[in-house]
């Protein structure tokens, strides 16, 4: 994001992002230099890492999520003061030295050890405190123009600003301790990202407020961009002797928890969306971590997901309820914050538990039925009526005739969820990632960018900030390699939705001495297990059998044995009815719904300009047809013909009674 900070400022909100510009023309979007995602799999297992360290006579001990070793990059005096300050991630092999801020992958570490044995000092590895392009410089300019919130010139302005963000009860002492500032030009709070030593400014987050009636929406903007923003807000205040910490999802929550309890408190940089593994070394010193991320079901699921990274044995989770709201809300209502923290549930589970241990979670699901149903689609409201929502841990099988637009539809289907914060991993084995990204960018911009290339950077920068990742596979791949890559993505980016397009392209390299159907059953079972074990939704595209094109597809039309439809929680079919007189009609059929049993079908309208299937805003709402479970959900051709005939009669009658506007029909001359 580009911020210009000269003399006068103007403020406006563009696409839920704060844009700040000076009194001269500027480009409001700038591509930051973001490192490419790491390799698809860990180069070494934790056993291999331990064996290598032993072979090199490097002392080490196991931490919660990292292996601790003395830093090979620090000088002798530093090495004594920062003993065991180099952390190697057990899952990825990536390392970070908290004494010198040198980081790298496992191969970098091995190369550094070999060079050190030869007496060569390695100094060209990336340092985490170095600015990325101009992000740190831009952040410093904004930081210098922001004023300390606790000492604005007008005391009334301070009170009003605190009231807008709901922190009237937060003391000036707390604001000063956490160095919170206020940017008048944007009417936003400014939270700094200091290096762990607190000596340099690495970035910042701007927090604005949008009010829609009684609802309050927070608008965040970060420097550098979100994918490179790794700020544990409050980290410089942590003492080396601290053994307990509270993790919150928002900076405002961290302020009130610390003020109410005095406990060390940190805020995660991307809230409930992701816990970057790069932050794990800074959390190794704590023997007890309490996660209090919010008040809804998604926050609770994120807390359980993050606890698996942090080691569940040391984690406790504050479960949302009517009495245990988000920290800021609980503090505002006068709740006992310390008591809520002490009532947190342990994250670790035994192999056998009783209903008593499940009781609160069962009550939570009953009390929050709408949230349990999952994330709602904004572009496909008819799908919400049938499927109720997109839920983690499920397997969806999607099929449709060749050339019906399966990839185009599933792209918009996934993009809709991604826009709502669902971290998404695409595995496109049939078409290239470039072509897929072009389709999704067109759907994101809702129009052809070929005709407006001057706006490409604007849309591309916003698209780049989505939690969207792509596998680099193409064509036939081994299922084990694909599953390993998915596991890596779940750990690195907290992926909660994986799309595999499509199954048939993955079946060529399976070295199994069984028939083709058995191979497919094995792969479907592997995806089913992955979805359940990782609380991740997997959408699996499967081509149908070759059947009569005039017949509608059914669940039995899915290629292979019945295992795919049996293992699936949901079965979606893109029906494409061919017409001799013109373009066919497309419908989306929900043929199986394990969540509540509702199945049905609704029409889709394809827009060639935007490559979207979602209904236009101005069009009449599509009629939804619910059917019984034993019905295939497809209207009969006779009924469809009657509907078409009735529609034509109605249209003809309407044309007789209406005078068309000039230019309404093709080839009609328009007079001025």
Average pLDDT estimate for 43-57: 89
Average pLDDT estimate for 207-226: 86
SS3 content of the chain, % helix, strand, coil (to 5): 35, 20, 45
Lowest mean per-residue pLDDT among 98-102, 479-483, 616-620: 616-620
Question: Which of 215 and 651 is assigned the larger pLDDT?
Answer: 215
pLDDT attached to residue 7:
27
Q: pLDDT tens-digit profile of 407-464?
A: 999 999 999 999 999 999 999 988 999 999 999 999 999 998 998 899 999 999 999 9
Q: What's the mean pLDDT when you consider all of the chain? A: 81
User: Which whole-number Å values give the CA distances from 331 to 168, 256, 258, 564, in the listed order?
Assistant: 11, 7, 11, 49
Question: Which of 259 and 132 is assigned the larger pLDDT?
Answer: 259
pLDDT attached to residue 38:
44
Average pLDDT estimate for 198-207: 88
Answer whether residue 137 shows pLDDT above 60: yes
pLDDT attached to residue 271:
92
pLDDT winner (highest mean) among 190-199, 306-315, 511-520: 306-315
Give the rounded percent of residues in the chain with a pLDDT score beyond 70.
79
Answer whether residue 319 shows pLDDT above 60: yes
pLDDT attached to residue 43:
59
Indicate the pLDDT class of residue 514, thresholds 50, 70 and 90: low
Q: Please give the span between the terminal C-alpha atoms of the chain, in angstroms, as a whole number.
A: 45
CB 629 within 8 A of CB 599: yes
Angle at 333 between CA 332 and CA 334, to 5 degrees: 90
Answer whether residue 325 shows pLDDT above 50: yes
One-character DSSP codes across 267-335 = E-TTTTS---GGGGGGGTT-SEEEEE--SSHHHHHHHHHHHHHH-GGGEEE----SSS--HHHHHHTT-
Q: Using alpha carbons, select from 199, 182, 200 the residue that is nearest to residue 191.
A: 182
Q: For residue 45, how many other CB atoms are within 10 A of its CB? A: 12
Average pLDDT estimate for 505-519: 66
Answer whether residue 32 shows pLDDT above 90: no
Q: pLDDT tens-digit profile of 165-199?
A: 999 999 999 999 999 999 998 999 999 998 877 77
Average pLDDT estimate for 548-577: 86
Lowest mean per-residue pLDDT among 247-251, 351-355, 398-402, 473-477: 351-355
Could you tell me the pTM of the whole model? 0.78
> Tokens 């709070």 sit at which residue?
189
Q: 391-640 adopts what CATH topology?
A: Rossmann fold (3.40.50)
CB 244 within 8 A of CB 286: yes
Indicate the pLDDT class of residue 351, thresholds 50, 70 and 90: low
Question: Which of 124 and 561 is assigned the larger pLDDT?
Answer: 561
What whole-number distance in Å separates Cα of residue 164 and Cα of residue 119?
59
Indicate the pLDDT class of residue 82, thresholds 50, 70 and 90: low
Choosing among 3.90.1150.10, 3.30.420.40, 3.40.190.80, 3.40.1360.10, the CATH entry for 232-372 is 3.40.1360.10
Average pLDDT estimate for 296-308: 92
What whole-number distance in Å separates Cα of residue 53 and Cα of residue 70?
11
Average pLDDT estimate for 151-164: 86
Lowest mean per-residue pLDDT among 109-123, 204-218, 311-325: 109-123
Q: What are phi and psi of 539, to 5 degrees?
A: -105, 120
pLDDT attached to residue 322:
66
């Amino acid at each position: 994001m580009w911020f210009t900070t000269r003399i006068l400022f103007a403020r406006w909100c563009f696409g839920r992002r704060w844009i700040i510009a000076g009194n001269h023309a500027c480009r409001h979007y700038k591509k930051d230099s973001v490192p490419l995602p790491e390799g698809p799999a860990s180069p070494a297992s934790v056993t291999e890492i331990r064996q290598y360290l032993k072979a090199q006579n490097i002392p080490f001990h196991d931490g919660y999520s990292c292996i601790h070793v003395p830093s090979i990059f620090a000088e002798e005096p530093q090495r004594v003061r920062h003993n065991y300050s180099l952390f190697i991630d057990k899952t990825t092999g990536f390392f970070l030295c908290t004494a010198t801020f040198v980081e790298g992958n496992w191969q970098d570490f091995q190369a550094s050890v070999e060079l050190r044995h030869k007496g060569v000092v390695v100094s060209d590895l990336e340092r985490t405190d170095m600015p990325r392009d101009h992000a740190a410089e831009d952040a410093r300019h904004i930081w210098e123009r922001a004023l300390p919130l606790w000492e604005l010139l007008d005391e009334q302005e301070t009170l009003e600003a605190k009231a807008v963000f709901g922190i009237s009860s937060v003391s000036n002492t707390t604001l000063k301790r956490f160095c919170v500032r206020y940017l008048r030009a944007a009417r936003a709070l400014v939270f700094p990202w200091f290096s762990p030593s607190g000596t340099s400014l690495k970035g910042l987050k701007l927090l604005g407020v949008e009010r829609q009636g009684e609802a309050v929406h927070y608008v965040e903007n970060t420097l550098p961009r979100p994918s490179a923003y790794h700020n544990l807000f409050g980290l410089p205040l942590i003492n080396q002797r601290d053994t307990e910490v509270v993790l919150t999802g928002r900076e405002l929550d961290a302020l009130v928890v610390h003020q109410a309890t005095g406990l060390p408190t940190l805020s995660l940089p991307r809230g409930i969306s992701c816990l970057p593994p790069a932050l794990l070394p800074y959390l190794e010193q704590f023997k007890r971590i309490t996660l209090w991320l919010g008040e809804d079901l998604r926050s609770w699921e994120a807390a359980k997901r993050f606890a698996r990274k942090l080691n569940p044995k040391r984690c406790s989770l504050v479960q949302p309820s009517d009495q245990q709201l988000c920290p800021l809300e609980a503090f505002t209502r006068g709740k006992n914050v310390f008591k809520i923290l002490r009532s947190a549930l342990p994250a670790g589970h035994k192999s056998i538990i009783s209903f008593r241990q499940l009781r609160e979670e069962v009550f939570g699901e009953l009390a929050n039925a709408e949230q349990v149903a999952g994330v709602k689609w904004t572009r496909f409201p008819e799908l919400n009526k049938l499927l109720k929502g997109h839920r983690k841990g499920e397997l969806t099988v999607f099929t449709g005739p060749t050339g019906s637009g399966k990839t185009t539809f599933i792209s918009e289907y996934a993009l809709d969820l991604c826009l709502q914060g669902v971290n998404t991993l695409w595995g496109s084995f049939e078409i290239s990632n470039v072509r897929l990204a072009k389709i999704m960018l067109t759907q994101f911009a809702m129009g052809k960018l070929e005709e407006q290339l001057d706006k490409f950077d604007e849309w591309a920068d916003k698209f780049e900030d989505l939690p969207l990742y792509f596998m680099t596979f193409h064509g036939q791949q081994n299922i084990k390699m694909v599953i390993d890559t998915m596991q890596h993505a779940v750990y690195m980016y907290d992926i909660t939705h994986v799309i595999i397009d499509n199954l048939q392209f993955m079946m060529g390299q399976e070295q199994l001495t069984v028939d083709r159907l058995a191979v497919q059953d094995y792969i479907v079972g592997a995806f089913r297990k992955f979805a359940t074990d990782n609380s991740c939704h997997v959408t699996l595209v499967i081509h149908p059998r070759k059947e009569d094109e005039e017949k509608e597809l059914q669940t039995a039309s899915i290629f292979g044995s019945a295992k795919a439809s049996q293992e699936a929680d949901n079965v979606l079919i893109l029906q494409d009815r061919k017409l001799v007189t013109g373009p066919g009609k497309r419908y989306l059929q929900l043929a199986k719904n394990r969540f509540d049993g509702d199945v049905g079908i609704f029409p889709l309208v394809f827009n060639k300009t935007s490559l979207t299937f979602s209904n236009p805003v101005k069009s009449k709402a599509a009629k939804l047809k619910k059917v019984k479970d034993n019905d295939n959900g497809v209207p009969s051709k006779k009924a469809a013909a009657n509907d078409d005939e009735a529609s034509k009669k109605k249209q003809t009658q309407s044309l007789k009674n209406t005078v068309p506007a000039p230019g309404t029909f093709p080839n009609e001359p328009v007079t001025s």
